[in-house]
Amino acid sequence: MELWYTEKHSDNVGITLKASQSLFSGKSEYQQLDILDTVDFGRMMLLDGLVMVTERDEFVYHDMIVHPALFTHPDPKQVLVIGGGDGGSIREIVRHPGVELATLCEIDGLVVEKSVELLPSMASAIDGKHPRVKLHIDDGLAYIRDHQNSFDVILVDSTDPIGPAEGLFEEDFYRLVHSALKEDGIMVAQSESPFYHAEIQKNMYRNLRAVFPIVEMYQAFIPTYPSGLWSFAFASKRYHPVHDFDRSRATNRTFETRYYNEDLHLGAFMLPTFARENIRE
Ligand code: AG3
């Protein structure tokens, strides 16, 4: 018998990976969680059937949700991740020596628990033992409502805007993020595929622009996500990711990165025409 998993990206297109076994399958209060061992991409986590991470290509996503903001802000000390229960984003944040505290606010405790157990290469910093990491199992909206003017950077590491993450793409939520950020704070949110999700992007960037003075999209290549072309929204109160980028800080980073580098920091913000069209003002 062979085990293959398909995530459908549209009615007629999908991605299929051969798996050697299922490591966990269960339902939390919020969603269906599955962790499979795949033959070519290592362990893979699915939420409601959607690929969240694989061990083989997660470095792209986690480099790119974290480092552009942390190398644009001149001195990020307090960083919050909303979602991101696999721990990959927190792992990258704490590699920045200047960060004093990385806080994870994930709504679903089961995701954290199973990631610590089955995805240790991602979840190493959220096992409860890291001195610069704090964990909250809580609704992101409720959490930031109670934490005004507190963070230098907030990362929204969510799933697609269906199910528990729906509210994380709305203007009201961005207003709360804006007030939870300090006066020169930066937010980055995963913003779906420019190839497949033009409508979602249009609404999301319109909502962001209603709240933040600086809003830019940047891209990354993530093979297991729909179309492979993925994007992030950079929303900022003061610093522009290209014009205020201090290249030497990124060049002189004290850790290695397999995807991010000082050239790519700039290149990622250069968009293909169709992607630019999706978010035209
Ligand atoms: N968050 C982005 C997942 C979106 C993927 N969508 C899909 N497969 N249809 C991933 C969380 C990683 N920390």
Each residue of 9-19: pLDDT tens digit? 999 999 999 99
Closest CA to 174 of 65, 82, 76: 82
Tell me which of 86, 119, 190 to substitute to probe ligand 1's pocket, judged by most ligand atoms within 8 Å of the beta carbon: 190
- 88 CB under 6 A from ligand 1? yes
- Superfamily of 3-54 according to CATH: Spermidine synthase, tetramerisation domain (2.30.140.10)
Q: What is the average per-residue pLDDT within 213-225?
A: 98
3-state helix, strand, coil in the chain (%, to 5): 30, 30, 35
Hey, which residues does 189 pair with through a beta bridge?
A: 156, 233
| Both tokens assigned to 249 | 């800080």
| Both tokens assigned to 2 | 């062979």
Q: Whose CA is nearest to atom 2 of ligand 1?
A: 159
Say how many Å lie between the CA of residue 64 and the centre of ligand 1. 13
58-278: CATH topology: Rossmann fold (3.40.50)
Tell me which of 225, 227, 232 to substitute to probe ligand 1's pocket, judged by most ligand atoms within 8 Å of the beta carbon: 225
C-alpha–C-alpha distance, residues 142 and 150, integer Å: 14
250: three-class secondary structure by DSSP: helix
- 61 CB under 6 A from ligand 1? yes
Domain ranges of the chain: 3-54, 58-278
How far, CA to CA in Å, does 31 sit from each of 34, 110, 111, 112, 165? 10, 10, 10, 13, 11
Say how many Å lie between the CA of residue 191 and the centre of ligand 1. 10
Confidence tier at 164 by pLDDT (50, 70, 90): confident
205: three-class secondary structure by DSSP: helix
How far, CA to CA in Å, does 111 sit from each of 38, 42, 140, 181? 19, 18, 15, 26
C-alpha–C-alpha distance, residues 227 and 97, integer Å: 35
Residue 160 DSSP one-character state? -
Hey, which residues does 82 pair with through a beta bridge?
A: 105, 156
Task: Please give the pLDDT value at position 43.
Answer: 98
- Model confidence over 54-96: pLDDT tens digits? 999 999 999 999 999 999 999 999 999 999 999 999 999 999 9
Q: Which long-range contacts (CB under 8 A, 24 or more apart) does 207-212 make?
A: 207/169, 207/170, 207/171, 207/174, 208/174, 208/233, 208/235, 209/281, 210/171, 210/174, 211/171, 211/174, 211/175, 211/177, 211/178, 211/235, 212/174, 212/178, 212/187, 212/236, 212/237
Residue 184: active-site member = no
- 205 CB under 6 A from ligand 1? no
Check whether 1 has a pLDDT greater than 90.
no
Q: Whose CA is nearest to atom 10 of ligand 1?
A: 52
176 burial via Cβ count (<10 Å: 0-12, 13-18, 19+): buried
Q: Whose CA is nearest to atom 5 of ligand 1?
A: 52
- 233 CB under 6 A from ligand 1? no
Whether 146 contacts 198, CB under 8 Å: no
Domain 58-278 in the same topology as domain 3-54:
no
- Model confidence over 91-122: pLDDT tens digits? 999 999 999 999 999 999 999 999 999 999 99
Q: What is the average per-residue pLDDT within 254-263?
A: 98
What is the strand order of the sheet 42-47 is part of? 3-8, 14-27, 32-38, 42-47, 50-54
155: three-class secondary structure by DSSP: strand
Residue in 57, 152, 157, 160 annotated catalytic: 157
Check whether 162 has a pLDDT greater than 90.
no
